[in-house]
Amino acid sequence: MKNVLLVCGGGSSEHEISLRSVKYYEECLREIPSINVIWIEIDKQGQWVDRTGKKYLLDGKRFLRAFEQDGAPGTRIDVAIPCIHGHPGETGDIQSYFEMIGLPYFGCNSETSKICFNKITTKLWATALGVANTPYVFIADQGQENVERVLEFQRRHGEVVVKASNQGSSVGCYMIPAGGDVRKAVADAFALSPFVLIEKRMRPRELEVSAYEYDGKVQISYPGEIVTPSSTFYTYEEKYSAASESKTFVRAPDVTAEQVRMITDYATRLYRGLKIRHLSRIDFFLEDGTIYLNEINTFPGSTSISMFPKMLEANGHSFVSYLRQHLEAL
């Protein structure tokens, strides 16, 4: 029997969403007889705790030991699942530690995680792989030359979106109308990330696919769709609030065969080119018949309203079997 460390939390702005996602993983793992699940939360102070609040340490020999364990060796961990959105999971930090101590883990490697969590490096890689991006500029500081670049970009495109480069779930995203105060949004974004991305605001359809491996092959689901109220965009609150007015479609209606083909081609290029492993949700915009990359999520949510598991199962695959395949191979 394999001891599987299921780690959640992390302390980022997406901490609570991780706690909701991990419930689904735990339910699925309980259906695999060969798995012994060990649940640990990284709390908002960075402590590793169980459900009773008891503190633990994962040592360099892959043993999970309680802080007050009187010399007992603890439990040797065979595989880890970092069910963490944002830092330190999607940022690649916890994967780096797993790699240092030789602990196999489910999900993308540390390098891929770092690339995809940074919205700017994602765009640069997408361009290199021949995947269309929305028009953008990015800056590393608020010096006068960079401010002028941002103002010129705003004059050229009118409405823009300012994004903190290293945040998830729409945290640090600001919609700026034509002529609006882009400087304040840039300053707010820099308070959250070391780099800031400014994009032309689109008014697209928001399509996404589950991109994952099953039976040894890369699988790209049929595109799903997020439909938000016309007055807003897909904010953190719209994604996760019980009062959300957004609608989701596991199979997007009225998408042409050519658009599906293009999304599948783009998603496959990104999956292979960025060396994505095991799972991802890749989001696209569709505007005026053109497909653009929006972002890549290397550990997508699995809450009751999340699209990744729904699209995977609509693609004909069992989530339990999907997890079993990968955990048995690690």
Where residue 78 falls (left for φ over 0; alpha for ψ -120 to 50; beta otherwise) is alpha
Distance between CA 199 and CA 147 in Å, rounded?
14
pLDDT for 168 beyond 90: no
Tell me, what's the pLDDT at 244? 57
The model's pLDDT over 272-309, given as tens digits with 9 standing for 90+, comes to: 999 999 999 999 999 999 999 999 999 999 987 899 99
Tell me, what's the pLDDT at 140? 97
Tell me, what's the pLDDT at 98? 98
Residues 36-50, mean pLDDT to the nearest whole number = 97
pLDDT for 8 beyond 80: yes
pLDDT for 148 beyond 90: yes
Instruction: Please list, in sequence order, all residues whose beta carbon lies within 8 angstroms of the beta carbon of residue 71, skipping any fewer than 6 positions away.
Output: none
Tell me, what's the pLDDT at 231? 46
Q: How confident is the model at residue 245 (pLDDT cuts 50, 70, 90)?
A: low
Q: Are 197 and 140 in contact (CB under 8 A)?
A: no
pLDDT for 71 beyond 80: no
For 41-45, 169-173, 186-190, which range has the lowest pLDDT when averaged over its residues?
A: 169-173
Domains in the chain, please, with CATH?
Answer: 2-106 (3.40.50.20), 116-132+203-329 (3.30.470.20), 136-200 (3.30.1490.20)
